[in-house]
Amino acid sequence: MCGIVGITRKEEISADVVLKLLKRMEYRGYDSFGIANNNSDSKNCHKYIGEIANADVEGVHTVVSNSKTFIAHTRWATHGGVTEQNAHPHIDCNNELFIVHNGIIDNYLELKNELQEKRRLLGKVEHDFKSQTDSEVIAHFFEDNLAEGREVKDTVETFFRKAKGEFAIVVMRKNDATIYAFKRGSPLVLGINNEHNEHIVASDIQAFSDRTSRAIFFNENEYAEIQSNNYKFFRYDEAENLLKECSKTPNFVTWRSDDITQSGYAHHMLKEIKDEPNVARMLLTALNANDGNATFHEQRSDLAELAKLVVESKRVVFVASGSSYHAGLLGAYFLGKVGIEAHAIIASEFRNFTLLDGETLVIAVTQSGETMDVISALRGIKQEGVKIASFVNVPYSTVKRMSQISINIYAGQEISVAATKTFINQIIAIISLAGKILDVQKKDPEIKKKLEQKLSLDDIAQLIDEITTDLPVNRIEEQVKKVAKKLKDSEDIYIIGRGFCYPVALEMSLKLKEVAYIHAEGMMAGELKHGTLALIEDGTPVIALIPSSNLEVLSNVKEVQARGARIIALSDIETEYETICIPRIPLGNEVQFAILTSVIGQLLTYYIAAERKDSKGKDLSIDKPRNLAKSVTVK
């Protein structure tokens, strides 16, 4: 879950360029970062604990001065704590070779012991391992192989053969303007910028999408030698243990790279919630408008093809993690409403709970398209005749490239770790699929009409706008802020709902945990009496999702009220409880209730977090919660 950047160019590179490239990767990890150059005349490597914005800028300029080739890394800790020693780049014993790594080397201890034993047998001093990471073994592995007279390419061949796990690795040598990059499992992409005579290798296109639109994506077991004006790609042949040169054609990528500033908002999370009406309109235009736009035409065509594929399949299985899993749960619910057998499985447990055969359609739901649990779930299932489709926010990502059909959710770049606008657009995209399925099926016209009314997304962007709009007084937002002040000191919060409200309850509880650091539990309301009711006592906050289309949940609200719970209702009707009332939802429209309640839940979470302090009395880091990262690229 780390971010890699490597750049080599004809002219010297400024510190501002390197920092900007790395800053655009920081959503992948922000525990620490480091930069190294290939110039022996200056300090070669500098590491920092904490976020890039808090770094010693003078130190960055020192390491970046007078150089044309760099590698850099921003870290999310897996092996070893957040220390300067564990930060990347890692260096060999001779201070002549630097590596950055994203992924996990599963057998790093075995490789480390093998390296040390070999040195002992040769009567040499053992390697000086300075970190507790799995990554440092890569630097010493290359050190020994190169010392024995092998070329970098030969060493990569040996590493492919011996290493187990997932990895994207970039290697740089002192006084060598070539960057060496290779991958298995973890993502890696090369950006080609002829205008500035530079090549940039990174974990994803967001690193350089503001500098070039030409990119080459690394496939599995590929290796590249990259110079400022040239590159060569090789593919590893496992049978022969050889890297064979291969031809790669650059893609012209189009990617909505939004303004990454906060635009006057206190946090990116709030800015991104406020952007939801805009991205909802863009997605609905892409899926529905007949404006002749070629890109949008492809989206509409793909959605129609996916609907046909769903109808032809015996079962549909959504596979996802985190917020995307909750969107998948909603998808399974609404596909069930139109007569499709659909399930949602958490990606990390996918193979343990899923029947896979030629009659199964697997639909991956992922924001980044690089979630390792999702990628692992998808690997190899095509060989079993399983069809793969996906809903993805990042074009050209690994999951998109693994899919037979992929729908772009058009949410744009999301900086905050908490998924907000991506989650809303995932729901809208999946509901649009359910509506398109109705066009493929041959249902009775009256039945179809009723289902279309239940699934209608008419005016949804405008309704979101009424919740999120920046007015001097926004009635709903003011209600949310008042409730947030009352809940800010809570240690436990329960969110209950039935049917389609259950996934929304799960999503709200996840947001409260990851952003406000409150223990929260989203529940099927009917399950309260099977254990959780024992935890309800005087003053325990319970948020109840009460749609006018399903008032059965009111009996469960009475159960917790009888035990002294503090009730906050989210409803499209007035209730006897303190209520945040959602405006203008057409009677019975479950889709719009789910979406608008989710938006209110995001705002509530944000304002609760904004009211809270950490153990040192400081404001919470809302955009970058502790221990988390935006893109989860490890299992």
| Residue with tokens 């596979």, as numbered in its chain | 319
| Residue with tokens 């896979």, as numbered in its chain | 356
- Per the annotation, the verdict on 93 as an active-site residue is no
- Per the annotation, the verdict on 436 as an active-site residue is no
* Cβ atoms of residues 259 and 265 within 8 Å: no
Task: Give me the catalytic one of 2, 183, 271, 513.
Answer: 2
Q: Of 225, 191, 226, which Cα lies nearest the Cα of 205?
A: 191
- What type of residue is 393? N
Under 8 Å CB-to-CB from 518, ≥6 apart: which residues?
490, 491, 492, 493, 512, 608
DSSP 174: T
- What type of residue is 210? D
Give one DSSP letter per residue of 558-576, joined into a string: HHHHHTTPEEEEEESS--S
Distance between alpha carbon 147 and the CA centroid of its chain, in Å? Answer: 39
Report the alpha-carbon distance of residue 186 to residue 79 in Å, rounded.
Answer: 16
Report the alpha-carbon distance of residue 320 to residue 193 in Å, rounded.
Answer: 34
Distance between alpha carbon 78 and the CA centroid of its chain, in Å? Answer: 17
DSSP 125: P
Task: Give me the catalytic one of 112, 400, 513, 630.
Answer: 630
3 state SS for 414-471: CCCCCCCHHHHHHHHHHHHHHHHHHHHCCCCHHHHHHHHHHCCCCCHHHHHHHHHCCC
Report the alpha-carbon distance of residue 555 to residue 539 in Å, rounded.
Answer: 19
* Cβ atoms of residues 410 and 286 within 8 Å: yes
Instruction: Please classify residue 511 by burial: count the beta carbons closer than 10 Å to its beta carbon, then call 0-12 exposed, 13-18 middle and 19+ buried.
Output: buried
Annotated active-site positions, please?
A: 2, 630
